[in-house]
Amino acid sequence: MARVTIDSDPIPVTLRWAVRLLRGEAVAVGLVALWLVWADLTADTTAGLTSALLVTAFAVGAAVALWALGSTLARRRAGGRAPAIVLQLMLLPIGWYMIQGGLAWLGVPLMALGVGVGALLVSPQTNRALGFS
């Protein structure tokens, strides 16, 4: 007979929301990646094809990484927290340059998302759930 263990300690709300937001980001970046694939396939010229394919590959990789980090954190693996925080911090300069480029309507929410998810990932409840305290 196989032993069954039941985790009686539920995932705290801070970690649950961090995972949801990371997966939401993964879906959003995945949709951008799909649009980039479509744009690459329907381009009229092949002059910048290498650059276009690299940007597309970066978007696909980012989507996969965000989803994988969300899954890792959902399983309470502490090793997923630091890379997730780094990806959230990357939203700050991206948002800043969007604001500087006249896209404040998108840059400000991106920066808020990065700060918010980062805060969820370092909250005391998340620290306890991941075994940091």
Domain boundaries, the chain: 13-129
| pTM score | 0.89
According to the model, what pLDDT value does residue 109 have? 97
Predicted pLDDT at 2? 64
DSSP state, residue 101: T
pLDDT > 60? residue 4: no
Q: Residue 86: count other Cβ atoms within 10 Å of its Cβ.
A: 11
Min mean pLDDT across 7-11, 36-40, 74-78 is at 7-11
Per-residue pLDDT tens over the stretch 89-127: 999 999 999 999 999 999 999 999 999 999 999 999 999
> Looking at residue 10, what is its pLDDT?
86
Considering the chain, what is the average pLDDT of its residues?
93
27-36 own/partner pairs: CB under 8 Å, 24+ apart: 27/63, 29/59, 29/62, 29/63, 29/66, 30/60, 30/63, 30/67, 32/59, 33/59, 33/60, 33/62, 33/63
